[in-house]
Chains A and B, each alone.
Chain A
């Protein structure tokens, strides 16, 4: 990036957005673990609603399918399967975030 200050600000905004996403996953995971079907359904609905297919249609499609699968698993009394999906996705985002930050600071240090 040409402007390191602008890059830093963009990183901060992106980081805040990712933290909200991770928090949303945490709410869904906790709701699933505690059997709060309504909260789980709301969380999954918000995850689906905030998908932006224009950014990456393939990813948006797969994530939507996974949220649907998690919802069905929870409804079918398979909370472990729903948890696995949500935990795995949350882990992917955490890992990607760490990689992103590592790359950013290695470039802008």
Chain B
């Protein structure tokens, strides 16, 4: 139901036209009596809505008008609050929801700042790296990977000692390791038994 206005019928015989509390309405009773007329269509419409009634939360004197006259001429203004059953939307905590979004945005901003900073460092390291590496066929992916490795390990590892063929293979491997979701499944398949066997053999070789 949207905003609108409907005529109200007030039982004016029970209304004060002066007195405290501003309403100036009550006469013999403590409260004013308001009757809301409903047509059949209104009843059907209201039954299908969540509204259960209305509350008059106050009334205002219309400036410049006669207090009695405003009752006669219909210029009395009464704010109306609709009483209705709580809807789910009323229980939704928009403030908390907003705070969660703001917190998530802060995390994203922080991640983005770190990525940007890392990318700048990678570019700088690429620029400083031995140009011969690029002549050897290293791609941007492998250079980025190498630089990322450098940054992650916290040091400058210096120029690589690899030749063109190996450099190309490392570049492709780096590209696949960093850019695909199947990398671990391709190589991280050693069983604990296989590793233990190798460790034992290694220990024997060292001792012999």
B-binding residues in A (CB < 8 A): 14, 17-18, 20-21, 23-24, 27, 30-31, 34, 36, 38-39, 42-43, 46-47, 50-53, 55-56, 58-60, 62-63, 65-66, 69, 80-81, 84-85, 88-89, 91-96, 98-99, 106, 109
Contacts and interface: CB of A to CB of B under 8 A. Distances in A.
A95 to B, nearest CB: 5
Given A34-B206, A63-B187, A84 B172 contact: no
> Chain A binding site: helix, strand, loop or mixed by DSSP?
helix
A54 B163 CA distance: 28
Interface string B168-184: 01101110111010111
Contacts of A23: 195, 199
Given A46-B198, A62-B176, A80 B189 contact: no
A46 to B, nearest CB: 6
Contacts of A109: 107
A39 to B, nearest CB: 5
Contacts of B206: 34, 36
Lowest 6 CB-CB distances: which A-B pairs, in order? Answer: A55-B185, A59-B176, A56-B182, A91-B149, A17-B188, A55-B186
Interface residues of B, number: 42
A55 B149 CA distance: 24
Contacts of A99: 178
B190 interface: yes
Contact of B187 (A30, A59, A88): A59
A65 B172 CA distance: 11
Contact of B198 (A42, A52, A80, A106): A42
B170 A106 contact: no
B190 A36 contact: no
The interface residues of chain B, by DSSP majority, are classed as helix
Given A52-B189, A81-B161, A92-B177, A58 B201 contact: no
B58 interface: no
Interface string B2-36: 00000000000000000000000000000000000
Nearest to B149: A91
A58 B176 contact: yes
Given A31-B205, A42-B202, A56-B176, 12 more contacts: A20-B188, A21-B188, A31-B202, A52-B186, A52-B187, A58-B176, A63-B187, A69-B166, A84-B162, A89-B170, A93-B187, A95-B178
A55 B176 CA distance: 11
B111 interface: yes
Contacts of B182: 55-56, 59
Contacts of B166: 66, 69, 81, 85
Nearest to B189: A50
A27 B183 contact: no
B148 interface: yes
A62 to B, nearest CB: 4
